[in-house]
Structure 1
Amino acid sequence: MQRVLLLFTLILMAAVSQTASAQQRPNFLVIQCDDLGYGDLECYGHPTIKTPHLNKLASEGVRFTSCYSASPVCSPSRAGLVTGQTPTQVGIYDWIPGGSPMHVKANETTVAKLLKEAGYQTGLFGKWHCNGMFNSPKQPQPNDLGFDYWFATQNNASPTHKNPNNFVRNGKKVGPTQDFSCQVVAGEAAHWLKEIKDDGKPFFALVTFHEPHEPIASPDDLVETYPDADKKGEALYYANVTNMDRAVGSLMQTLDTLNLADNTLVLFTSDNGPETLNRYGSAWRSHGSPGPLRGMKLHIYDGGIRVPGIARFPGKLEPGTESDVPVCSLDLLPTFCELAGAEIPADAKLDGTSLVGMLQGEPVERAKPLFWHYYRAYHDAKVAVRDGDWKLVALWDQGQVKPGAAYQKGDYALIQGAKFKAFELYNLTEDIGETKNVAAEHPEIASKLQKGLLDKYDEATKNAPDWFAEAR
């Protein structure tokens, strides 16, 4: 009997120890904005827009000055964050209209799946945009890709950010909501943290605001704080960013109230660069700024892909610091999995790298350069790689296709048969605006990066799906 009691006691102690260990694992809160430019925040140098809560977050953590999204357009960027892979590799070539055959396939490895398997609770709140047949059994939904709980829209908040009516919660339509989209999303995330999530498990929450993507709507009291913004739609845009900042503040307050802040890694970022003013009918409010960068949304130059990046991890990241180390949303999956002790499958084709070494002040070692591809980018620059200070841009030789027009029949052949007519090399440390092509001055560097770019392009496109062929 004593041996039985001893064995029971040891088993109980082991279970308690495992539970305590699980509770010590960090939580992860990722906040991703939509079309927020590199220069749109006060702490990134915007002269007018007020973002006090994000200023505070930056003062409590690290502000990254070389933080990149996975793509210069929304759906590929989001697919890259979720899978840790170059979006082309998983077949997300462009933004996904409703009804499109494009989607992140159910068999893809995702950060939510891996963390869930490791005992995390997972939640998605906001814009999904990783499938065309949203809330339909015809394509995988957020729960099929690892999210226990989801409150989302397929694409934009509709009809505007004010009182949107197109949210779906765990497969059921929500109907009209009361408030601006970022507050609705932040409120749902807070409700999940307070009332639904299992307190005995760590969590991963992906909060994806619709702001400041069109169609923009902003609170009157915030619009009135920008009386000097005299261009059409300018005050609406500035107020929209400030309203999003308010929502970030409410999320940080929720973490404080629940005593979760000290063990939560918070990352704030954007899906791509800022929208071009008047690119389409309702874009008259799009007054976003790329700061000193070249290009904007839909460009493969840095204005399309370099975005704000703020991380706070108390006790691990030095408060009030700045880092120019190139990091990317593709890095989140391997970083979170290493911190959580989650196993990554040996056959996972990840393009990101773990940033955990940064917590100990170690350099980030990448097995391959950062890589971007967007075949509908503005101008001829369609592919790029960055390795340290250097960025190589490839100009394709197949004629121009309409930027941002979405994936169409015939596009697969363009992607598979791409030919490149020239390569541009930039030293981003010396030339952040990509104004001087120095390929002729540094032929060895250009040649090395060119090989890496072409090799990765071949790898990314080799098994990428032809959606219209698969739909037949």
Structure 2
Amino acid sequence: MSFRIFSLLTLFLVCLLHGHSQLRAEKPNVIVIMADDLGYGDVSCYGATALKTPHIDQLAADGQRFTSGYCSASTCTPTRYSFLTGTYAFRGKRTGIAPPNAPAIIKPGTETVASLLKRAGYTTAVIGKWHLGLGGEAGPDWNGDLKPGPLEIGFDTCFLLPTTNDRVPQVYVKDHRVLNLDPADPLWVGNKKPSPDHPTGLTHRDTLKMDWSHGHNSTIHNGISRIGFYTGGHAARFRDEDLADKWVEKSVEFIEANKDQPFFLFFASHDIHVPRMPHERFQGKTSLGYRGDSIIQLDWCVGELMKTLDRLQLAENTLVVFCSDNGPVMDDGYKDGALEKVGDHRAAGPYSGGKYSVYEGGTRTPFITRWKGHIPPGVSDELVCTIDLPASLATLTGQKLPQDACRDSFNVLDALLGKADAAGRAHLVQQNNGNNGTYALRVGKWKLQRYDKQTARNIIVEQQLSNTKVPQYQLFDLEQDPAEKQNVIQAHPELAQRLKKQLADLIEQGSSRPGAVAPVEK
């Protein structure tokens, strides 16, 4: 009798453990690594030959490398907004590049990829560049509680660069507070010079260790002048060269602390955004100047995260997504040698445009998924976008999307997982910055561009941004003309008219995800 009871108990425990392992298999850890200003052609697995990115290459070799992977905007704030909320940024307010004192752009109560995963039992963190505003309508209280912020939209913890590093202030934010801030040395951030003798990149240019080329000539910190003004907070200030190390350090701490339960980590790298000031051990390691050196620093970060997963035996239970917030730019305000040393390197790969533009180089970027033992190695040409991660991860973890949430996020999970015959999204709206009326629509091989408020585009000409006059609408066949050099709108009037209407409808109807509806304005 006792043997029978023992056998039944053993069988029960085996079933329980099997069920637990099945549950864990259905809810893998999720790490989204978002690079900053990284172009399609900036890493070696996408064709770069001037430098090597072995850790990113290994991710691609272990999983799916997408050739039609996109972000939804060609600048940082709108892409990050769309990635987190699953809604095109042009539907929101103040979603253009955020100034230093911007209030929180994503309001408390908004459904985000973090809140979805938190509801599914995940511990959630964002570590790295934020640039989505902090605080209420009056803006950040730098000497008090910085909320609302990430913790009010689904993150359990955060360790942030609050804006972007070419904008002030150069301090870390841990959860709701500036880290290491001395009350006797309060932090002030403003858009006007605080005193006549305040040092700036204009008045003290000869003291700079990295000179500016345009726009970045206000307050000086660490020998680099920035956009905006600030004083105080000296004990809280960081060194640019240490940013990547700090992101890795805090990310490893988070992974180790949560290795026994599902976690979601948004690793928001600042590389390779300006000012490009990699750690000394990476400086001079490529022929491309600090821009290239920052790429291999980014690759090192990826390697350190993957080594941590291996050490903790988490690689087979972690979905890793590698992407970028927009395409490349050479001279983005600093004289760091990027343009002069570019040589034959083509940051946007075969595509025209880059950061700030709706040409393919602005939004088509490296996009890789890896989940060892679940995602087969391969290359996919399915159309996927960072805006699709909320809906796809909700499906993965069994969460239902509210009707008025994630309004443009498509469930492309099967494509992300590399399943045979899986389809990506059927169409994608691209934008440049904010909601200023510059859009593009990709449907299959066709690409329509629309310019409402301007007739100029940003395109990389000999690796430098140039403004060129264009008509309001342009049409390109990406199969025949991936570089978007031949406007064929006159040859396809009926197709152009259909795409114009489709784009207008997608913009005006307030949502594009099946079943989603725009919220009622209060």
The TM-score bracket by the shorter chain reads 0.7 to 0.9
Contact 1:79/1:130 (<8 A) preserved: yes
How big is the shift at 1:73? 0.4
Equivalent residue number for residue 218 of structure 2: none
Specify which of 54, 62, 65 is matched with residue 64 of structure 2: 62
Post-superposition shift, 1:400?
Answer: 6.5
* 1:41-69 deviation line (CA, Å, top 9, x unaligned): 11111221221111111111111111111
Quote the residue 2:333 is aligned against.
280
Q: C-alpha distance in 1, partners of 2:57/2:246?
A: 22
Match of 1:449?
499
Residues 153 and 225 of structure 1: is their aligned pair in 2 closer, same or farther, counting only changes over 3 Å? closer
1:77 matched to which residue of 2?
A: 79
Alignment of 1:180-259 (within 5 A): 180-194=242-256, 196-197=257-258, 199-226=259-286, 229=287, 234-259=288-313
The answer for the alignment partner of 1:150 in structure 2 is 158
SS of the residue aligned with 1:440?
Answer: helix
3-state SS, counterpart of residue 115 of structure 1: helix
**Number of residue pairs matched?**
428
- Partners of 1:455 and 1:114 lie apart in 2 by 28
- Map 1:307-386 to 2 at 5 A: 307-319=365-377, 321-358=378-415, 359-364=418-423, 366=425, 369-374=427-432, 382-386=438-442
**Residue in 1 aligned with 2:487?**
437
- The match for 1:43 among 42, 45, 50 is 45
From the superposition, tell whether residues 15 and 168 of structure 1 become closer, same or farther in structure 2 (CA, over 3 Å). farther
SS in 1 for 2:67: strand
- Out of 258-267 and 354-363, give the one that drifted further: 354-363
How many angstroms apart in 1 are the aligned matches of 2:385 and 2:117?
19
* Farther-moved stretch of structure 1 (368-377 vs 202-211): 368-377
Structure 2 matches for 1:415-426, cutoff 5 A? 422-426=472-476
Which stretch of the first structure deviates more once superposed, 101-110 or 40-49? Answer: 101-110
Residue equivalent to 2:349: 291
- Post-superposition offset of 1:158: 7.2
User: Once the 2 structures are TM-superposed, how far is the Cα of residue 21 of structure 1 from its aligned partner?
Assistant: 4.5
Indicate the larger mover: 92-101 or 23-32: 92-101
Structural mapping, 1:389-408, within 5 Å: 389-396=445-452
Write the distance in 1 (CA, Å) between the matches of 2:313 and 2:94. Answer: 38
Q: 1:291-321 deviations in whole A, cap 9, x for unaligned?
A: 21111100011111111111112222222x2
Contact residue 92 and residue 104 of structure 1 kept, 8 A:
no
Which segment is superposed worse, 291-300 or 389-398? 389-398
Q: Is the 8 A contact 1:92 1:102 kept in 2?
A: no
Identity %: 31
Q: Which residue of 2 aligns with 1:428?
A: 478
Letter aligned with residue 218 of structure 1: P
Does residue 23 (structure 1) correspond to residue 24 (structure 2)? The answer is yes
Q: Residue 78 of structure 2 contacts residue 96 of structure 2 at CA under 8 Å; is this kept in 1?
A: yes
TM-score by length of 2: 0.74
Tell me which residue corresponds to 1:263.
Answer: 317
Greater helix fraction, Structure 1 or Structure 2: 1
Post-superposition shift, 1:373?
2.7
State the 1:140 CA deviation.
Answer: 2.4
Match of 2:173 in 1: 168
Secondary structure in 1 matching 2:158: strand
CA distance in 2, matches of 1:45, 1:269: 16
Residues of 1 paired with 2:94 and 2:85: CA distance? 11
Poorly superposed stretches of 4+, deviation over 6 Å:
11-18, 399-403, 461-466
- AA matched with 1:188: K
Task: Give the letter aligned to residue 361 of structure 1.
Answer: A
Q: Go from structure 1 to structure 2 and tell me whether the alpha carbon gap of 1:293 and 1:355 turns closer, same or farther (over 3 Å shift).
A: same
Q: Report the secondary structure of 1:307's partner residue.
A: coil
Q: For 1:180, what is the secondary structure of its paired residue?
A: helix
**SS of equivalent to 2:366:** strand
SS at match of 1:206: strand
Unaligned runs of 5+ in 2: 1-8, 180-235, 460-469, 512-516
Q: 1:105 aligns with which of 104, 107, 125?
A: 107
Cα deviation per residue 1:162-189 (whole Å; 9 max; x = unaligned)? Answer: xx95111112323355763122101111
**Per the alignment, in what secondary structure is the counterpart of residue 267 of structure 1?**
strand
Contact 1:91 1:102 in 2 (8 A): no
1:215·1:282 contact (CA, 8 Å) conserved in 2? no
Once the two structures are overlaid, the 10-residue window that deviates more, 334-343 or 241-250, is 334-343
Structure 1 length-normalised TM? 0.81
Paired AA for residue 274 in structure 1: P
Higher mean displacement: 108-117 or 234-243? 234-243
Contact 2:109–2:152, Cα closer than 8 Å, also in 1: no
> Are 2:74 and 2:433, in contact at CA under 8 Å, matched by a contact in 1?
no
Residues 353 and 458, structure 2, Cα contact 8 Å, conserved in 1: no
Greater CA radius of gyration, 1 or 2?
A: 2
Aligned counterparts of 2:479 and 2:300: Cα–Cα separation in 1? 33
SS at 1:236's partner residue? helix
Residue 300 (structure 1) aligned to one of 331, 338, 358: 358
Q: Which runs of 5+ in 1 are unaligned?
A: 1-8, 404-419
Query: Against the structure 1 CA distance between its residues 108 and 337, is the aligned structure 2 distance closer, same or farther, given a 3 Å change threshold?
Result: same
1:79-106 Cα shifts (integer Å, max 9, x gaps): 0100111011132431101223461111
Q: What amino acid is aligned across from residue 219 of structure 1 in structure 2? A: H
Distance, in Å, in 2 between the alignment partners of 1:452 and 1:192 is 44
CA displacement at 1:324 relative to structure 2: 1.6
Distance in 2, Cα, partners of 1:458 & 1:138: 34
Q: 1:450 to 1:171 in 2, by over 3 A?
A: same
Change (3 A) 1:347 1:210: same
What is the rounded CA distance, in whole Å, between the counterparts of 2:154 and 2:430 in structure 1? 25
Change (3 A) 1:102 1:421: farther
Q: Deviations over 1:195-214 (max 9, x none)?
A: x32x4421111000001111
Q: What is the one-letter code of the residue matched to 2:98?
A: I
